[in-house]
Amino acid sequence: LSSCLSNEAEDEISRHPCYNEEAHRFFARMHIPVAPACNIQCHYCNRKFDCVNESRPGVVSEVLTPTQAEQKVKGVAAQLMQLSVVGIAGPGDPLANPEVTFDTFERVKEHVPDVSLCLSTNGLTLYRHIEEIVRLGIRHVTITINAIDPDIGREIYPWVFDEGVRYEGREAAELLISRQLQGLELLAARGILVKVNSVMIPGINDQHLPAVSKRVKELGAELHNVTPLIIAPGSQYERDGRKAPRPKELNNLQEILGRDGMKVMRHCRQCRADAIGLLGQDRNQDFVLEKMEADP
């Protein structure tokens, strides 16, 4: 870890299963699926399924209301001793659903104060929520940044929707990228630990990701997580016949990024938006709301 981190930040990282590879054997995360809408379109996504930026495509998480989420977090925290992080990562973009997302975080903060809060977003509206994130004590934020060059970004994002305006083509990518980098910089300046996720898309951004890594490191990102493209059924990339990278290609890229001095995450399990347990575990079915309500 970089030596400029405070002791407090190092401690926060040591108990976060995604930010610390050792921690993932001992500490569990819980995702609460309260955020169904999204404000951009990625070519690898099919909106019928969970957001692919931080999850597996082709799975559908059932959306909870903030009240249901509160009950569920209380129940899980009481039963799952290893729980250290509660995150919101979908099934759409959490910041495209700011009311339910922040209402839910507020409830978790109040009722389960000893877990760390984590947020994952495409970053489009991040700059508008910095104060709320700081106020709620959210210490870990993930931004999915697949490109910093709008000419590459336009091959990934056909459109972006913000404040009643729909942007397309290069303009859409340019807006999204500028907001992502702005959000990253603002969060880092407030001492929030930012992880950047990038989806490795062969033939589109695979050669470009070292430049992305370098830029986000300069802006203060703590960690870079490159995940292999998994194409959602019915997505544009499926129609285009795009392919996932081979494991060796992904490993080579991670090695290149690591050589440039970035801390690279290699143990991501591409969780569902409703995942519960240690990374790689999905114990959602062990914590069914109705059952918990009947048997507190």
Give the binding site for ligand CLF (CB under 6 A). 18, 29, 31, 54, 85, 87, 89, 118, 120, 140, 142, 195, 225, 268-271, 279
Q: Is 122 near ligand SF4 (CB under 6 A)? A: yes
Query: 174: exposed, middle or buried (C-beta count within 10 Å: 0-12, 13-18, 19+)?
Result: middle
Helix (H) or strand (E) holding 86: strand 83-88
30 binds, among ligand CLF, ligand SF4, none (CB under 5 to 8 A by kind): none
Q: Is 38 near ligand SF4 (CB under 6 A)? A: yes
The CA radius of gyration of the chain, in Å to the nearest whole number, is: 18
92 binds, among ligand CLF, ligand SF4, none (CB under 5 to 8 A by kind): ligand SF4
- Among 273, 295, 291, 285, smallest CA distance to 86 is for 273
Applying CB under 6 A, the span of 9-17, 49-57, 71-79, 262-270 interacting with ligand SF4 comes to: 49-57
Close Cβ partners of 86 (under 8 Å, ≥ 6 residues apart): 29, 30, 31, 32, 73, 108, 112, 115, 116, 117, 118
29 binds, among ligand CLF, ligand SF4, none (CB under 5 to 8 A by kind): ligand CLF
23 binds, among ligand CLF, ligand SF4, none (CB under 5 to 8 A by kind): none
70 binds, among ligand SF4, ligand CLF, none (CB under 5 to 8 A by kind): none
Query: Contact with ligand SF4 (CB under 6 A): which of 13, 40, 143, 204?
Result: 40
Q: How far is the CB of 167 from ligand SF4 (least distance, A)?
A: 14
Q: Which two tokens stand for residue 54?
A: 């931080």
For residues 234 and 46, give the distance between their C-alpha atoms in angstroms, rounded to a whole number: 6
User: Strands (DSSP E) along 15-80, which ranges?
Assistant: 28-31, 40-41
Q: How far is the CB of 157 from ligand SF4 (least distance, A)?
A: 8
CA angle 68, 71, 75 (to 5 degrees): 140
Q: Is 42 near ligand SF4 (CB under 6 A)? A: yes
- Among 1, 96, 4, 5, smallest CA distance to 47 is for 96
At which residue do the structure tokens 């495409």 appear? 122
Q: Is 273 near ligand SF4 (CB under 6 A)? A: no
Applying CB under 6 A, the span of 40-48, 130-138, 269-277, 284-292 interacting with ligand SF4 comes to: 40-48
Q: How far is the CB of 102 from ligand CLF (least distance, A)?
A: 15
Q: Is 173 near ligand SF4 (CB under 6 A)? A: no
Q: How many residues bind ligand SF4 (CB under 6 A)?
A: 11
179 binds, among ligand CLF, ligand SF4, none (CB under 5 to 8 A by kind): none
Note every long-range contact of 169-173, with CB atoms under 8 Å and residues 24 or more positions apart, other chains counting: 172/40, 173/147
